[in-house]
Every structure is written in structure tokens, then in C-alpha cells.
Structure 1
Amino acid sequence: MMAAPERTERDITGLLNVAGHALSNRLAAALSEIDLTPRMQCVLVHALEQERTQIQLAALADLDKTTMVSTVDDLEKRGLAERKPSATDRRARIISVTDKGRRVAEEGQEIVDRVHGEALDGLPASTRAAFVEALGLLAGSPRDPGPQPVRRARGR
């Protein structure tokens, strides 16, 4: 029998995949309590940040065109968002979040923050910020802006 090649580094790909899968499952289960998927929550939050087209939202949420269409279809069926024509490009559709969608996105964000906080609770407090920053570097986005307020419509 031949000897396996010597490993000089820990298998971080495997560790990240297992950790990511476990966290994704926890997040999906928690959001299912309010009948949302992580994908729907992501689209709602990005659509609330500023007026964005379906194509822009798909890029931000890392969704292919077909998945994005079905996600927005689901959001529309639930009365959480609607497609509207863009004022600047008649071919583009803006995804507009309804009042109900805003309330659900706020509740969903509380759930997302709770699940992420619980995941980080497993680490010593002194290493959490460095861990999150290191994940950002590995993912190619070194600076996560951190929690962002959900903008409220004027006059509310």
C-alpha cells in the first residue's frame, strides 16, 4: 500500500463547508417559522436598501436568473413584494417591497441576527471580530459593513 501524501495544512475547505452547511440549515429552519427562506430574506433586505432591479438583486443575492424569478414569484404570491416598471429603463423591473414585506423582512432580520449571534456565541468573545473579519478576507470581501438599519419610508 502506498503512503498518502503528507498534509501540511488543515482542510479548511472541508471545515468551512461543514460549518456553512450547518449554519445554512439552522438559518433555514429558523426563517421557516415565519414562512421565509434565506433567499427570500436576502432579496427583501437588498430591495429595501435602495431601489434595485431584479437583475441587480440577483447579483447581490448570488442567484441565477431562473432562481431569482421563482423567488420573486414567491414573494409576490405572499404579498411581500411586487414587480414595477423602472422609471429609467422600460425593459427593467424594480422589485418593490410592500408594507407587509417590510414588516416580515424586519422580523426575518431579527431571526438572522439571532442565528448568527448564537453561532458566534460558540467562540470566545475576544476572537469573534477577528473570526468574522478573517471569513470576510477568505470570501474576498475584507470589510463587512456590519449591521445596517432597515430604512423606513418617509412619513411613517
Structure 2
Amino acid sequence: MAPARTSPDLSFLLDHTSHVLRTRMTAALAEIGLTTRMHCVLVHALEEERTQIQLAELGDMDKTTMVVTVDALEKAGLAERRPSSTDRRARIIAVTAEGASLAHRSQQIVDQVHEDALASLPADEREVLLRALGRLVTGHLETPAEAPRAARRARQAS
């Protein structure tokens, strides 16, 4: 006999909603030829001059995934690696004019996917949900626990 639950399965609730949201985001961005990682790199690279390593940290990507992502952006003419204006040893990811235009379009798509998800809730519940999640990610669930075997981690929000 299985043990009785004494509280709601928060892991399932968060994992499932996150997974479905990611699949919807992936499908919506694919319509304009971007992946979620490409969107993340473009948007963060437009905010300020950033190195590939800084962008990888912001997007929670390992080095290999970041290289593949930037290679795809370069191949599509959306970004390029350039020397940093402040550190000649560093290389930054510079977004092209075409990449900037696509980043603005992709941000509209991302915002719409988020709005659509939240629209399934009454307005007062949306505000409560967002406040509660904000408190969790800046409080109790801000820092992952150390474990002998690392848990697989989903990509962070862009």
C-alpha cells in the first residue's frame, strides 16, 4: 500500500505547468525560426555588452549548448562574436539589426504566451500566484540544495 500524502504534490504542479509552458513557448518561437535559447541570448545581449560566458550564466546554459546556440545565431545572421570594447581579451555577442528586430518580435511572442497562460485565471488569482511565486524564488526556493547527485535543472526564464 502506498503512503498517504499529507500535502499537495507541489513538485508535480510546478513541473507540469513549467513543462507545458515551455512546450507552448517552444512552438510559438519556432514559428519565427527561433529556439527559446536563441531568444534568451538575443534579448540579454541587447540589454548590454555581454560575453558568451555571461550570457550562458543568464540563460542557465552549459558551455557546449551556448556555443551551439551562438553558432546558430551567427549562421542565421542574427548575432556575431566581436571583441569587447572594454576588455580586448574578451569576446562579446553582438546582435545584428536583423537579430534585434527578431528579438523584439520574439519578446512579443513570449509575452503573449505568458499572458495566455495567466488569462486562464481570474485577475485576483493571477496577482496572488505571481506574488507567491516571486516570494518562493527570492526566498525559500532561491538557492538549490547541495546533493550528492545533481538534480536535472530546467532552463531559467529569459
Q: Please give the range of the TM-score, normalised by the shorter of the 2 chains.
A: 0.7 to 0.9
Q: What fraction of aligned residue pairs are identical, expressed as a percent?
A: 60
Deviation of the 1:5 alpha carbon? 2.4
Q: Would the alpha carbon gap of residues 45 and 141 (structure 1) be closer, same or farther in structure 2, given more than 3 Å must change?
A: farther
1:1-156 maps to which residues of 2 (within 5 A)? Answer: 3-140=1-138
Instruction: Report runs of 4+ in structure 1 exceeding 6 Å deviation.
Output: none
* Distance of 1:81 and 1:141 partners within structure 2: 36
TM-score between both structures, scaled by the size of structure 1 = 0.84
What is the RMSD of the two structures over their aligned residues, measured on CA atoms? Answer: 1.5
2:149 maps to: none
Q: Structure 1: where are the runs of 5+ without partners?
A: 143-156
Tell me the alpha carbon deviations over residues 99-138 of structure 1, each in whole angstroms, 9 at most, x when there is no partner. 0000000000110011110000011111212212222233
Q: How many residues align structurally?
A: 140
Q: Is the 8 A contact 1:75 1:82 kept in 2?
A: yes
Q: Mark the runs of 5 or more structure 2 residues left unpaired by the alignment.
A: 141-158
Paired residue type of 1:53: T
* Structure 1 counterpart of 2:85, one-letter code: A
Higher relative contact order (CA 8 A, sep 6+): 2
Q: In the aligned structure 1, how far is the partner of 2:139 from the partner of 2:47?
A: 19
